[in-house]
Amino acid sequence: MNWRPNRKAATKAHCVPLSRMRERAGVRATSWIYTSVLYLLLPYVIFHLLWRARRQPEYLYHWGERFGRYATRSMRPVIWLHTVSVGETRAAAPLVKALQASYPAHQILLTHMTPTGRETGEQLFGNDVLRCYLPYDYPFAVRHFLAHFRPQLGLLLETEIWPNLVGACHDAKVPLCLVNARLSQKSLRRYARFGGLVQTCLRQFAAVAAQTREDARRLAELGAQDIEVMGNLKFDITPPDTALALGHSLRQGFGPTRKVFLAASTREGEEERILDALLKIDVPDLLTVIVPRHPQRFDAVAQLLERRGIRYQRRSAQLAVSAETQVLLGDSMGEMFAYYAACDVAFIGGSLLPYGGQNLIEACSVGKPTILGMHTFNFADAAELAVEAGAALRVADEFELAREVRKLLLDPELRLRMGQAGLEFSRQHQGATGRVMALLQRLLPSSHASGDVGRASARNIGLKPDLH
């Protein structure tokens, strides 16, 4: 459905030209400052990559791509999706499959900003898609990116607003859509500081598909127009059969009679509180599985467990879980569905401390009772709906977490009711993929001719088409 903000009556005709001139001058000045600051920050960008590489060496690879230089190319017309990291890449899975079915003559290109996002894309799609890093928002870099791949359509997932990239797509006549768009109140305040620049950027999108009416309202405050509310793509993710089978295998290895509590996608500072909660749960033979959100923190969490004197094993060791093991450290990638399938109760990390929360939909779609902290502003609508549906409950701190985990572990009927509510909650909110595909069909019909558009896009951005 369309969502349009109320507009005030037009100003007097003779005032419009002057106001527009002032507005455009302000936007040009802000754009110049923004780009100048980016160039001034270039040494920091290099330092940042090196710093991140201390814990994640993959940040040392593919530097050329981050500045618009690519070895990968496609001989077919390209549909491009930008999925920053793991969560966005997983959310895009149903859309990628739908695009491949509707546009079999096209090549899907996934761009990322993090190595874990890139790795997730490889796990999900293998060689069925092209993968690379999106360049940083330098004008020369985004122009080279567009000239190299010549996309016929671009999709940015969730909250990716890069002025130079969006402007270059607009100049090249590449239709660019903001899909599965969400915007928290905190992000609204941050973007609002850039006023006219962000407004101009948002109005250059060919389409904006928001997750909820609240997201649409906030995007409209920033200047987006003709926003369509289409729901959340993450509801359309189906738990893979292979992941469910792995979950069953894990559960048998844990000990079929042991109760299993999963702390999923935990963030820094939360593991200490979860370990404090474990002291108060008092359920015999309880096994706790802790899966940190970021792989670079796996070793730090292992060190925390050692300092606490907790008997633990690492999933990466691929060993049978001992009956004496208290905690399994989930230091693996791409197995979250399996962890959900193997547990009795799941806590969703990033919500006990003010990180904004992580995706709770996967836990609900596997039919597991879900516990959230109070800080879910990144998934506010889904979290509230899940609580209202009886699929999830909230806790204020680690003490309430301990109480609710113990209550659920000792009450199989309550676990079953919440699990069934989660399945129904997930089912009722599916359908965003179909709505987004209908929107994209208006911009790029399936029968769309391919060759000339790509070459025209390259000419429009002032670079020679890469025809080799």
Q: Which residues are catalytic?
A: 88
| Secondary structure in 3-state letters for 349-399 | CCCCCCCCCCCCHHHHHCCCCEEECCCCHHHHHHHHHHHHCCCEEECCCHH
Bridge partners (DSSP) listed for residue 178: 156, 208
Q: Record the tokens describing residue 318, joined without a space.
A: 């691929």
Tally of CB atoms within 10 A around 105: 10
CB contact at 8 A, 456 and 173? yes
Amino acid type, 149: F
The C-alpha R_g of the chain, in whole angstroms, comes to 24
Residue 226 φ/ψ region, left for φ over 0, alpha for ψ in the -120 to 50 degree band, beta for the rest: left
Q: Which residue has the tokens 């730090």?
A: 300
Distance CA 179, CA 158 (A): 6
Amino acid type, 381: D
| Secondary structure in 3-state letters for 299-357 | HHHHHHHHHCCCCEEEHHHCCCCCCCCCEEECCCCCCHHHHHHHCCEEEECCCCCCCCC
